[in-house]
Amino acid sequence: MSVSIVTPGSGNMDSAGRLGKVNRRLFEEIIYRELGRPDESVVLGPQFGVDFGVVRLGDYDLIVEVDPVYVVPEYGWDRSAWFAVNILASDVAVSGVPPRYLFIDLNLPTRMSDEELRLLWNGIHRECRRLGISIVAGHTGRYEGVDYPMIGGATMVGVARRDEWVAPTMARPGDAVIMTKGAAVEAAGILASMFPKVLEERYGAEFARRAQDIFWLQSVVDDALTLSKLGLRTGVTAMHDATEYGVWGALIDIAEASGVSIVVDRDSLFVRDDVSKVLRAFEEVTGIKVDPFAAISEGTLIATVRPERAGEALSLLRERGIEARVIGRVAEGRGVYLDDGSSLKRVQQPEEDPFWPVFFKVLDLARRGEL
């Protein structure tokens, strides 16, 4: 998983000079072919669309994920710390295993003060304690040429008994597909947090204030660990967070990783009302249309569960206050299809996450004082 507030059109880019995560072709042509010395203890190695790897040590499996340390000072230091930790923790939690150990490298901008570092680190410490994560080792230094939001890298590790985890490779025909929280929560959370004036002018101060709470939806740790109670592989079979390219991207990742097709019921898809209002406001400001199901949505979990356990899965999530719906089913074949009740239309990988053009246009307007 990755979240990239400074990479317009990021994600599956493949040409020199383009930013963000590389596409499947580049990953498989360059990265996947050369992975060092083969080792039979590597149970799950690098795969496109899979958020973690697995290393077997005796009767235990280590769930290992690596991501940038992502810090956005405009969020405030407490929220920045929460965001940074939960991005990392979410990519372990989608295995169904609680994140347990953090190894962190902080490459700090020279303009970051000691007091700002103290505030950030205190927030990281507190969020790790809340989630049951121990900080084991790392590196901290200030360097020229470094700037927010990517100020280092980190490895998060979970510990499971042998085979007691799931991956996006494990969806099976017949599974029900569940979505939590609705689409585009990250896109709306970022826009509401960074540009509240836009919302205040259109909907008033009260809505602008309440919309700030969308920010705290940007984690799937609780969602994934709640579904793990169904039983890993026997109840829940695969989980993936809807980051870049949103819900469509996550569904395509699971379908391709598992070698299956996914049929989505159009009428079951949903977007929170406050998220819709936020997106609508920024569409009006920028003149750019946003497909919420293609927009970045860390905090939205896509999960596949055995069909007879779907009702139980929804009940468990709702007990935790997490809105969720069954949005489709896993079938034989390949690809993702949208069922409108009369026909099936194949969903293609979006060429660009629609959040980025909106974000950078608003950012430009703000810098020019035109908001």
Give the model's pLDDT for residue 5.
Answer: 35
298: nearest Cα among 249, 246, 364: 246
**Domain check: are 249 and 341 in the same one?**
yes
Name the more confident of 256 and 13: 256
Structure confidence by residue, pLDDT tens digits, 55-107:
999 999 999 999 999 999 989 999 999 999 999 999 999 999 999 999 999 99
279 and 251 within one domain? yes
Both tokens of 213, joined, read: 């709470």
Of 95, 128, 161, the one marking the end of a domain is 161
User: Do residues 145 and 56 share a domain?
Assistant: yes
Question: Would you state the pLDDT for residue 56?
Answer: 98
User: What are the tens digits of pLDDT across the range 139-194?
Assistant: 999 999 999 999 999 999 999 999 999 999 999 999 999 999 999 999 999 999 99
Q: Which two tokens stand for residue 229?
A: 């109670």
6 within domain boundaries: no
Contacts of 124 (CB under 8 A, 6+ apart): 81, 84, 85, 104, 135
pLDDT tens readout for residues 303-347: 999 999 999 999 999 999 999 999 999 999 999 999 999 999 999
pLDDT for 1 equals: 38
CA distance 369 to 256: 44
Here the CATH number for the domain that contains residue 111 is 3.30.1330.10
Q: What is the pLDDT of residues 266-305, one digit of tens each?
A: 999 999 999 999 999 999 999 999 999 999 999 999 999 9
pLDDT score of 211 more than 60 = yes
Q: Which has the higher per-residue pLDDT, 220 or 370? A: 220
Does residue 168 belong to any structural domain of this protein?
A: no
Mean pLDDT for the stretch of residues 236-263: 96
Which candidate, 43, 1, 26, 64, places its Cα nearest to that of 299? 1
- Domain endpoint, select from 136, 161, 186: 161
Please indicate, yes or no, whether residues 234 and 203 belong to a single structural domain of this protein: yes
- 199 in any annotated domain: yes
Both tokens assigned to 251: 């569904």
- Dist. CA 68–CA 106, nearest whole Å: 10
In CATH, what number is assigned to the domain containing residue 231? Answer: 3.90.650.10
Give Cβ neighbours of residue 366 (< 8 Å, ≥ 6 apart).
Answer: 195
pLDDT digits (tens, 9 = 90+) for 158-168: 999 999 999 99
pLDDT at res. 11: 38
- Same domain for 121 and 205? no
Percent of the chain with pLDDT strictly greater than 90: 85
Q: Examine the domain organization and report whether 142 and 201 are in the same domain.
A: no
What's the pLDDT at 180?
98
Distance CA(284)–CA(198), nearest Å, equals 10
* 135: containing domain: 24-161
Same domain, yes or no: 198 and 263: yes
Residues 6 or more apart whose CB falls under 8 angstroms from that of 357 comprise 8, 9, 286, 288
pTM: 0.92
Residues 6 or more apart in contact with residue 44 via CB below 8 angstroms: 50, 52, 53, 54, 167, 169
Cα–Cα distance measured from residue 309 to residue 242, given in angstroms and rounded to the nearest whole number: 22
Residue 15 located in a structural domain: no
Q: Give the mean model confidence (pLDDT) for residues 224-236.
A: 98
The answer on 181 and 41 residing in a single domain is: no
Query: CA-to-CA distance for 192 and 282, rounded, in angstroms?
Result: 10
Radius of gyration of the chain (CA): 20
The number of distinct structural domains making up the chain is 2
Residue 24: pLDDT band (50, 70, 90) is confident
Q: Is residue 196 over pLDDT 50?
A: yes
Same domain for 275 and 193, yes or no, is: yes
In a domain, 171, yes or no: no
Asked whether the predicted pLDDT for residue 7 surpasses 60, the reply is no
Let me know if residue 206 belongs to a domain: yes
pLDDT at 14 over 80: no
In-domain check, residue 312: yes
How far is CA 5 from each of CA 243, 334, 360, rounded to the nearest angstrom? 12, 32, 9
pLDDT reported for residue 19: 52
Q: Do the domain assignments include residue 12?
A: no
Residue 20 has pLDDT above 80, yes or no: no
The dihedral formed by the CA atoms of 288, 219, 22 and 194, expressed in degrees to the nearest 10: 40
